[in-house]
Amino acid sequence: MWIRASRTVRPLFHLRTPGTLRPMASGPTASRPWFAFSLDLAPTTASPHLHVLPPVPDFPEGDLAEALDVDVVYDVHVPNWGGRVARLVDAPGHRILGRLRSVAAESWPALARLETALALATEERPVKVRTASGAVVAAHAFTPSAQGASPQGPVSEAFLITLAVAAERAHLPADVVEKLQAEARIVHAVQHARPDGHLPPTPSKSGIK
């Protein structure tokens, strides 16, 4: 089953003036802009599913923001999650809501190790992010590599449930959290549907209401 789970939401920010791409100031002591959109919204939510979770660097809650012209597809199998997890892909016209955070440059290697442990997010890629003020800034996000991506095998239901919990703990808007919860229920129903057409009961797990 191929899953392209659109995280596109209605526009949360109304531009007062056209957004201009603004790079982060450079320098040896400058912080780096990091866009969190997946389990990295609240990393400790993944602890029950992972053998070892590296230390979580200190970072602020950050500001609600939306990455532009990107979406997620579930096509990377991660053994710790027992199925396919989300990968960030180019998607003109689509948007993903998350949090824009400033991370000290010296903490970036620790953040990269954490992202790898969470969901094999080994690839760092640039994204354009629109803030609540309407400014469009340059940031970076972590995502699994496209190498070895495949639509074969089940989507990880545990990952979907944990993603909904992470979004809720990161205080993303209620409609975004509810959409993620609904996606988890739909995937569960499709992957466990019986040949006679009867659907299984929705699992009673944290994050699914």
What is the reported pLDDT for 21?
Answer: 47
**Residue 97, pLDDT score:** 97
* Beta strand residue intervals within the chain, DSSP E: 21-22, 31-36, 63-78, 83-104, 123-130, 136-143
Domain boundaries, the chain: 21-191
pLDDT values of the chain reduced to their tens digit, one per residue, 209 residues: 445 555 555 455 444 334 444 444 444 457 999 999 999 999 999 999 988 888 888 889 999 999 999 999 999 999 999 999 999 999 999 999 999 999 999 999 999 999 999 999 999 999 999 999 999 999 999 999 999 899 999 999 999 999 999 999 999 999 999 999 999 999 999 998 866 555 556 555 444 43
CA distance 156 to 69: 25
Is-contact 136 21, C-beta < 8 A? yes
Q: Which residue in the block uniquely carries the two structure tokens 């919860």?
A: 181
Alpha carbon 7 to its chain centroid, in Å, reads: 9
Task: Note whether 67 and 96 are within 8 A (CB).
Answer: yes
Residue 40 has which token pair?
């990295």
Q: State the pLDDT at residue 187.
A: 94
pLDDT given at position 122: 97
What tokens were used for 13? 């920010």
**CATH domain 21-191 topology:** Hypothetical upf0131 protein ytfp (3.10.490)
**Which pLDDT score is estimated for 64?**
97
Token pair of 199 as six digits: 């659907």
**CA dihedral of 69, 172, 117, 183, whole degrees rounded to 10:** -80
**What is the reported pLDDT for 185?**
95
Q: How many helices (H) and strands (E) does the chain have?
A: 3, 6
pTM: 0.82
Q: Is 207 left (phi over 0), alpha (psi -120 to 50) or beta?
A: left
Q: What is the pLDDT of residue 11?
A: 52
Coil/strand/helix, residue 110: helix
- Residues in a beta bridge with 35: 100
Do 104 and 40 form a contact (C-beta atoms < 8 A)? no
